[in-house]
Amino acid sequence: MLNQTPSVEELKIMVREIKADPEVPQEVVEHVRHNLVKSTNLSSICVDGGYQAEEALGELARAGGDLGISMALLSLGLSVEDAFNAVYQYRKEHGQKYGWHTDTHVDPEDGSHAHSEAICGCGHCNAAFVNASRYGIDSQQVADLLALIKKTQQSEASNMRFINLNRDHQEEGIFVIESETVSILPWDKERNHQFFVYDQARDVALLKAIAQATQSGNYSKEVEAHDLIDTVTKQTNSTLGLLGSSKGKPMYALSYENGAVSLKLVGHAPEN
């Protein structure tokens, strides 16, 4: 674990070369050029494009943050408490924090609740609550999980990394990061560009580690890594197809080696 939170400038990487397929727009190339950062391992954040640079750092970006992993564990048959604790205890044991978020549209800074139809400003969490059958869980499980997370946030805030995003969705596309050493800052406020970011390579490594942790004997059910990875993929694709901010958006694969970046258009997010 990093001993202290690095600054964004300390994390930024000077890009030596960008090899981009012809289908990749120039504004996507320029976003990468100015927003490539070293990966950090304090916690995880959501794929949401609304994290400011100092909120995103180089954290592992994945659907729902750590809450999203707990959602997948629910689908695989763990109780609400075990689905939360499998991730929470893993984070604590590694000197890290359980990461989750909401936004100021749902949870304004003054403590009120602006939109009663949404239970959370995390679109992945809220989509699962509204369309639970598509995620292999039920709405009450999602509500109970969120309640447990909020309770832990109040009582053990030092073990949580919570961010209340203040943004409107303006994402232009989705970066799928195929490297464990770099990530992309999702929101370039200076140049007015915003992208979803998914750190796929690091996410797979984390899911394997958490699946292994469920086999410690402390949980009611053991989970195999391939089942957890498959479930996360299905739930993530459900969210991409449900949210108006992501459905149909272009997806760009990003790889990195020896200062050189490769960018490819690999498809589009689901439409439904």
For 201-217, write each residue's pLDDT tens digit. Answer: 999 999 999 999 999 88
SS3 122: coil
pLDDT at 169 over 50: yes
DSSP state of 12: B
131 in Cβ contact with 124 (< 8 Å): no
Percentage of the chain exceeding pLDDT 90: 90
Q: How many CB atoms lie within 10 A of CB 224?
A: 14
105 in Cβ contact with 31 (< 8 Å): no
Q: Whose structure tokens read 């202290």? A: 4
| CA pseudo-torsion sign 136, 267, 103, 64 | positive
* Structure token pair of residue 9: 């400038």
Rounded CA separation 188/24 (Å): 18
Tell me what pLDDT residue 116 has: 57
pLDDT at 158 over 60: yes
pLDDT at 111 over 90: no
| CA pseudo-torsion sign 1, 97, 31, 127 | positive
Number of C-alpha atoms within 13 angstroms, CB side, residue 183?
31
Tell me what pLDDT residue 115 has: 55
Rounded CA separation 45/33 (Å): 22
φ/ψ of residue 157, rounded to 5: -60, -30
Number of C-alpha atoms within 13 angstroms, CB side, residue 62?
29
Over the range 56-91, which residues count as b (16 or more CB within 10 Å of their CB) and which as e? bbbbbbbbbbbbbbbbbbbbbebebebbbbbbbbbb
In sequence order, what are the beta bridge partners of 263?
20, 254
Bridge pairing between strands 17-20 and 260-268: parallel
Apex 197 CA angle, 191 and 198, nearest 5: 170
Question: 1 pLDDT band (50/70/90 cuts)?
Answer: very low
Q: What would the pLDDT profile of 244-261 be if each residue is shown by its tens digit? A: 899 999 999 999 998 999
Rounded CA separation 47/56 (Å): 10
Helices (H) and strands (E) in the chain, counts: 9, 13
The whole-model pTM stands at: 0.95
* Structure token pair of residue 159: 């073990």
Each domain of the chain, given as residue ranges in start order, spans: 8-268
